Amino acid sequence: MPELPEVEVVRRGVARWVVGRTVRSARFLHPRVTRRHVAGPEDAIARTEGLVVADAVRRGKYLWLPLATADGDAADAMVVHLGMSGQLLVEAAKAPAEKHLRAVWEFDDGREDLRFVDQRTFGGVAVVPLVGVGDGGLGGLGEFPDAPWSRFLPAPVAHIARDPLDPAFDDALFARRLREKTTGLKRALLDQTLVSGVGNIYADEALWRAKLHYARPTRSATRAQADALLAGLREVMTAALAAGGTSFDSLYVNVNGASGYFDRSLAVYGQVGRACPRCGSLVRRDAFMNRSSFSCPGCQPVPRTAHW
C-alpha cells in the first residue's frame, strides 16, 4: 500500500496540473471504481461535472480534491483511494488508453486529462460532503490553507488522525495516547486513529532510527522514546519525499508515470541478511500481522516483555 510520501508525491502532481481547472466530463469505466460512492456512478458524475478542482489535499494516506462552483463556493470533495495499485496520471487528451484505465476526467480547457489506472481494482473514487474539523485546525495539507474548504474534511476521513508532517500535529498528545495503548509500538504506529500516513515500510524505518524494537510495549514508552519515534518518522518521510517516494514495482508512480527511488536508501525494510548501516549486525525478518517486520538485532534488541 502507498504510504504518506507516495500519496504526497501524487498530491503535488495533481496540484500542479489539475487545480483550478473545470471538469467538463467524468467517466467511470469499471463498476468497482465507484463502489465507495453509495449513490452510484451517475450521481458521482453529476456531482463532479461543471465544477472547478479547487485544491488537492491530503491527510495521511487519504487524498481528496475539493470541488467548487465557478463563483468559488465550496461544493463536495472527490476522495481518491489509491488502494494497492491505483495511479492518478496526467495524460494528453488524445493519448491511448492505459490497459487498466478505470476513470477519466476531461477539462473544459481541452488540455491534459486526469486518469485513474488501477490494475488490481482495490482503489476507488467517491464524491462526498465536507464536514468541520473539531479542533479548529486545517482539515488537511493542501495548496490554499486560507481557503473556505481548508477547515473541513471529507466525511469518510473525519476519524483519521493528523500525520507527523502536519504543522498542527500534537507531539504531547501523541505521546500520551501512545502510552495509553496496550499493544506493541509498531501496531500502534499502524493505527491511523493515532497517527496517520504510516505503513509497514516507514514504521520499520522509523523504529530503526529510534533504536526501538517493534514489539516493545507502548505502556513502557517514555516521552523521550515517543519523541524519537516521531523524529524518525519525520526524517524518513521527508527523505522519501525528496526521492519521490518508495517504488518496489511499476505500480507506484507520480502523475507523470515516474517511479520514486527511496527504496535504495532503506536501512532495514526488505534488507534481510544485509548488514545494518549503523552497527553491522545482519537485518532480520519476523512474521508480523500477515506481513513482515524488519529490524536490527544489534540496534533494536527484543524487550523482556513484548507485544508480538
Cα-to-chain-centroid distance, residue 127: 18
| Intra-chain end-to-end CA distance of the chain, in Å | 22
Q: Tell me which residue of 291, 177, 258, 255 sits closest to 10, measured CA to CA.
A: 255
100 annotated ligand binder: yes
| CA atoms of 5 and 16, how far apart (whole Å) | 17
| CA atoms of 166 and 306, how far apart (whole Å) | 30
Determine the 3-state secondary structure of 174 from DSSP. helix
Element (H, E) at 209: helix 200-210
**What is the spatial order of strands in the sheet that 101-107 belongs to?**
23-28, 101-107, 113-118, 86-91
Residues involved in catalysis: 2-3, 61, 291
* Residue 44 · residue 34 · CB < 8 Å: yes
| CA atoms of 150 and 139, how far apart (whole Å) | 6
| CA atoms of 40 and 271, how far apart (whole Å) | 44
| CA atoms of 126 and 34, how far apart (whole Å) | 6
DSSP tag of 216:
S
The cell for 183 is 499493544
Residue ranges at the known binding site for DNA: 100, 120, 181
Residue ranges at the known binding site: 100, 120, 181
